[in-house]
Amino acid sequence: MTTKIALITGANKGIGFETARQLGAQGVIVLAGARDEERGRAAERALRDGGADAHFVQLDVTDDKSVQRAAEWIEAEYGRLDILVNNAGTASVARRGAAPSQTPLDDMRAVYEVNVFGVVAVTNAMLPLLRRAAAARIVNVSSEAGSISSQSDPASPLRQMMPASAQYPSSKAALNMLTAMYAKELQDTPIKVNAANPGYTATDFNGHRGFRSGRRPARWRGRRWARPLPRRNGTRGGR
């Protein structure tokens, strides 16, 4: 059986790191994408110490040249890609909460650069490599925060728990639609496109306030992503 190759963006910490760790434990070659080299190298060492065949890939999803260099490196080293996990994300680059009516446009744009445009940039750059795999998978890490129905329902726990904000929820709603549109484009290919909702997970992303362990959602996704993939396309996941 051919060893699978997976690229995870934002793999130096949190859900991205745990996903990389668990995929590596299943024998998948893990390409740990990270913007910062020092943190990326540290993640690479930690993953290898755990037995994974892991390799740091410098990858800033907001930098077209960085994305292209990563794609060229993967092509030169492996010639293909089996799994792409678009995990890199942010809630607010400025790290300040604000109601939609008070949202700074520069922060809104910065969040979309990572959560939306970065996904498009990385996916488009990696698609030629994914097409070379027998049956590749693209997984976009989304959030129930992007669910219009949940955010609009007065009885929804999400609506009651989460204050009104513009950047993160709207970016994840956009990501959900992107997932559906890539799946539609690729429906006659062996590539399967999904969105995954890890839930409110305790990571650096939210100051470890989440009520789920980082290992539980990553373990669920890790098993699914590493399985042999059917040749028919479909979408599933993030609401």
- DSSP string over 18-37: HHHHHHHHTTPEEEEEESSH
Q: pLDDT value at position 231?
A: 42
Report residue 6 as tokens: 């997976």
Q: Is 172 a catalytic residue?
A: yes
What's the mean pLDDT in 199-228? 46
Confidence band for 96, pLDDT divided at 50, 70 and 90:
low
Q: What is the pTM of this model?
A: 0.85
Contacts of 226 (CB under 8 A, 6+ apart): 4, 6, 23, 26, 28, 83
- 155 vs 61: CA distance, rounded Å: 36
3-class secondary-structure state, position 154: coil
Q: What is the CA radius of gyration of the chain?
A: 17
pLDDT at 92: 86
Is residue 186 within 8 Å of residue 233, measured between CB atoms?
yes
pLDDT digits (tens, 9 = 90+) for 43-62: 999 999 999 999 999 999 99
- Alpha carbons 90 and 114: distance in angstroms, whole number: 7
Centroid of chain to Cα 150? 22
Give me the catalytic one of 13, 78, 112, 168.
Answer: 168
Q: What's the rounded Cα separation, in Å, for the pair 202 and 209?
A: 5
Per 3-state DSSP, what percentage of the chain is helix, strand, and coil (rounded to 5)? Answer: 50, 15, 40
Among 15-24, 136-145, 158-167, 204-213, where is mean pLDDT lowest?
A: 204-213
Q: What is the torsional sign of CA 231, 232, 234, 237?
A: negative
Q: What is the mean pLDDT of the chain?
A: 86
Task: Report which of 100, 65, 70, 82 is spatially closest to residue 9, judged by C-alpha positions.
Answer: 70
Q: Which of 155, 154, 12 is nearest to 87 (CA)?
A: 12
pLDDT greater than 70 at residue 225: no
Domains and CATH numbers, the chain: 5-226 (3.40.50.720)
What's the CA gap between 3 and 217, in Å, rounded? Answer: 23
Dihedral sign for Cα 35, 36, 38, 39, please.
Answer: negative
| Tokens found for residue 188 | 């006659």
Residue 214 predicted with pLDDT over 90:
no
201 or 169: which carries more pLDDT confidence?
169
CA gap 86, 37 in Å, rounded: 18
Assigned token pair, 127: 């698609």
Mean local confidence (pLDDT), 1-7: 92
Find the catalytic residue in 112, 172, 182, 192. Answer: 172
Q: Which of 98-102, 129-133, 217-221 has the highest mean pLDDT?
A: 129-133
